[in-house]
Structure 1
Amino acid sequence: MTRFTPGELEAARDRLVPDVVADGLEVLFCGINPGLLTAARGHHFARPGNRFWPVLHRSGFTPRLLKPSEQRELLAYGLGITNVVARATARADELSAEEYREGGRILTAKVERLRPRWLAVVGVTAYRTAFGERKAAVGPQQRTIGSSRVWVLPNPSGLNAHWTAATMAEEFARLRTAAGVPAAGDVTADPTP
């Protein structure tokens, strides 16, 4: 695994990580914004402490634990990844409320164009701010974007101590079931360290 110097990480600030998308996905996962390590590596959810990839597998969305560098394989499962805010920062709290709102407008247009069955925003605070839904909670939302339904998932960042990998996987699996996506592979093994 490539190690980056502080200068190399800082050079990744404001860098964009390309979306992994296609028309008509089953679920389009939406992160808050890329972190510096993710931007430096060029792959979504690339920070080692981020639990997105293990939880995605454990919940039955993927038949095996994918590495961030294998993110394009998601398309074969009808899954994709984008972000509320495209630019990379060291911490999500560096983003302004206006950036979140503008990100929500851009995300709405993207979802209207791509027409996924479900938009899954990972991070309730990001969802609340981007869409002006101050009382939103984790789970399915009343809001739709065109024909796309919306589900808010817990943030898989290692900083989110309120959710364990197991409880996150349960919530991801609830979405998978609601989306009608059959469990892929052996989800009984726990790939989470």
Structure 2
Amino acid sequence: MTPDELEAARDRLVPDVVAGGLSVLFCGINPGLMSAATGHHFARPGNRFWPVLHLSGFTPRRLAPAEQDELLTYGLGITNVVARATARADELGDEEFRAGGELLRAKVERLRPRWLAVAGVTAYRTAFGDRAARIGPQERTIGDTRIWALPNPSGLNAHWTAQTMAEEYGRLRAAAEADADPV
């Protein structure tokens, strides 16, 4: 993809991959230009979302971004805090994150996933006004939906390796499976 093709994707929207009653609704910060250009979430080759999803046991094999709709068969979906595409998340302001948080709350109230997993704790903090949030399960809920803040899978997030990210995603998977099992 050429730089001009990527730039032409700026501000485009990438459709959500959602359904009612999902086990986990993953939530990115916002689409990057590669995602907007292809129409597929987490499409940049250096993004670790798809490998980590598989390494953590959410999917039986590593899916390609173009196979994102297959997530629904596993009770998983994808949305974003902010819908518009940018080259970098730091192009978004706090007000846009707060507005995105309100839209996300409404979406979660309508779809009622068991877990909302926000992939980016800083985005979660801003969107939900929770400056003390840390990676892991949150005390806040949206209706009956529990929230988990996950590390951002961007290749720019050097604090987390694919393996340490997979361990955190795996903790969420175990919690989601425990919620699904009748007692």
Q: What's the TM-score, normalizing by structure 2?
A: 0.96
Provide the aligned C-alpha RMSD in A: 1.0
Percent identical pairs in the alignment equals 79
Asked whether 1:75 is paired with 2:75, we answer no
Structure 1 runs (4+) greater than 6 angstroms displaced? none
Q: Could you tell me how far 1:180 is from its partner in structure 2?
A: 1.0
Asked whether 1:143 is paired with 2:140, we answer yes
Q: Could you tell me how far 1:181 is from its partner in structure 2?
A: 6.6
Equivalent in the alignment of 1:189 = none
Contact 1:61 1:181 survives alignment (8 Å): no
Asked whether 1:25 is paired with 2:22, we answer yes
1:42 is matched with which residue: 19, 32, 39?
A: 39
1:134 is matched with which residue: 126, 131, 134?
A: 131
- The whole-number CA distance in structure 2 between the counterparts of 1:81 and 1:163 is 21
Deviation by residue 1:42-75 (Cα, 9 ceiling, x = unmatched): 1000000000000000000000000000000000
Asked whether 1:85 is paired with 2:82, we answer yes
Counterpart residue type for residue 24 of structure 1: G
- The whole-number CA distance in structure 1 between the counterparts of 2:49 and 2:170 is 13
5+ long unaligned stretches in structure 1: 183-193
- The whole-number CA distance in structure 1 between the counterparts of 2:36 and 2:76 is 20
Equivalent in the alignment of 1:8 = 5
- The whole-number CA distance in structure 2 between the counterparts of 1:124 and 1:117 is 19
Aligned residue for 2:36, secondary structure, equals helix
What does residue range 46-61 of structure 1 map to in structure 2 within 5 Å? 46-61=43-58
Q: Could you tell me how far 1:7 is from its partner in structure 2?
A: 1.4
Asked whether 1:174 is paired with 2:150, we answer no
2:107 is matched with which residue: 82, 106, 110?
A: 110
Counterpart residue type for residue 96 of structure 1: G
2:118 is matched with which residue: 118, 121, 142?
A: 121
What does residue range 142-161 of structure 1 map to in structure 2 within 5 Å? 142-161=139-158
5+ long unaligned stretches in structure 2: none
1:95 is matched with which residue: 92, 106, 113?
A: 92
- The whole-number CA distance in structure 2 between the counterparts of 1:155 and 1:9 is 21
Q: Could you tell me how far 1:35 is from its partner in structure 2?
A: 0.4
